């Protein structure tokens, strides 16, 4: 890897979780793998940030005060500026109902806590690849 490549982030990731320890863990893990990470603890802050500077992908917790992850995702999917950003839910809620609700809200994937680092990275890579291919296809069709 050339020094120029090592300074270009793989992708811009927004992490939304109301637990600072989870934010720190996910942020550190992603930065070590070359991702640019912005982390926030509130859904409203995340929505403003995503509209102002849309990330390539969002990791989103379900259980948060004020606005839960499902609501955040629904707002993201309702806005033209953020509707195509892949949202991966990360939650301690492991029930099938919770997972279905996440997909109905517009999420592309669901990871249960406690998570394995390798699983998060693999799913992140998969959804970034899919999104990049979608963008290329849209550009070719124009």
Only one residue has tokens 């005060």, namely 65
Decide: pTM greater than 0.95.
Answer: no
**104 Cβ contact partners less than 8 Å away, ≥ 6 residues apart:** none
pLDDT, tens digit, 9 for 90 and up, residues 67-124: 999 999 999 999 999 999 999 999 999 999 999 999 999 999 999 999 999 999 999 9
pLDDT, tens digit, 9 for 90 and up, residues 84-99: 999 999 999 999 999 9
Whole-angstrom Cα distance, residue 82 to residue 142? 20
Residues 49/82, Cβ–Cβ less than 8 Å: no
Tokens of 80: 């033209």
pLDDT, tens digit, 9 for 90 and up, residues 25-46: 999 999 999 999 999 999 999 9
Q: Which domains does the chain have, with CATH numbers?
A: 3-141 (3.40.50.2300)
């Amino acid at each position: 890897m050339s020094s120029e490549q090592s300074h270009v982030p793989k992708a811009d990731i927004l992490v939304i979780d109301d637990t600072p320890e989870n934010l720190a863990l996910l942020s550190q893990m992603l930065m070590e793998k070359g991702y640019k990470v912005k982390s926030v603890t509130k859904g409203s802050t995340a929505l403003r940030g995503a509209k102002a500077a849309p990330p390539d992908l969002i990791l989103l917790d379900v259980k948060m005060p004020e606005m839960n992850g499902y609501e955040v995702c629904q707002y993201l999917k309702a806005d033209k500026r953020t509707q195509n950003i892949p949202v991966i839910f990360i939650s301690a809620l492991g029930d099938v109902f919770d997972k279905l609700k996440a997909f109905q809200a517009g999420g592309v994937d669901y990871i249960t806590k406690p998570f394995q680092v390798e699983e998060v990275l693999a799913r992140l890579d998969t959804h970034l690849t899919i999104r990049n291919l979608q963008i290329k296809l849209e550009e070719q069709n124009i």
